[in-house]
Amino acid sequence: MFKRVLQSLSKSLGGGKPAPAAPLPPVEAPAVSKAAPPSQPVKQSTPTPVTPAKEVQTPEELCGITAAMTKAEISAQLKLLYRRYNRGASSLNAKVRLDADSMLDAIVAVREKHFGEI
């Protein structure tokens, strides 16, 4: 009963799914000043490469669940992850709290998939 209430609160406060990442703006080369003295060559810096966004992982990948795992192994892994990330859900650090919330949502999704509705 208590877990169901926590999950309901987590889904209602967290929106159920994390927001998709916003696309990064293109990186432009800095403008070169034409007023540089002829004695000093103008250095042109190369723009930093834009790294592609991380691939979206499934809840099983986030939790480290493989197809070869038994139900007992899955249950043990989910218990371990729940203990770890449940502590972080009440952190004062916003990044830790957001990471913990997304992991708790993934744990609930995996548990419902492999063990049925709570």
Phi and psi, residue 39, nearest 5°: -75, -20
Task: Find where tokens 């992991």 sit.
Answer: 103
- Residue 116 pLDDT: 83
Phi and psi, residue 52, nearest 5°: -70, 155
With contact defined as beta carbons under 8 Å apart, do 21 and 53 qualify?
A: yes
Q: Where would I find the H helices in 66-93?
A: 71-88
Name the band, by pLDDT with cuts 50, 70 and 90, for residue 91.
confident
Name the band, by pLDDT with cuts 50, 70 and 90, for residue 72.
very high
The per-residue pLDDT of the chain, averaged, comes to 75
For residue 98, pLDDT beyond 90: yes
Residue, of 30 and 67, whose pLDDT is higher: 67
pTM for the structure as a whole: 0.52
- Residue 47 pLDDT: 59
Name the band, by pLDDT with cuts 50, 70 and 90, for residue 53.
low
Mean of pLDDT values over 22-26: 63
CA–CA distance, 100 with 88 (Å, rounded to integer): 5
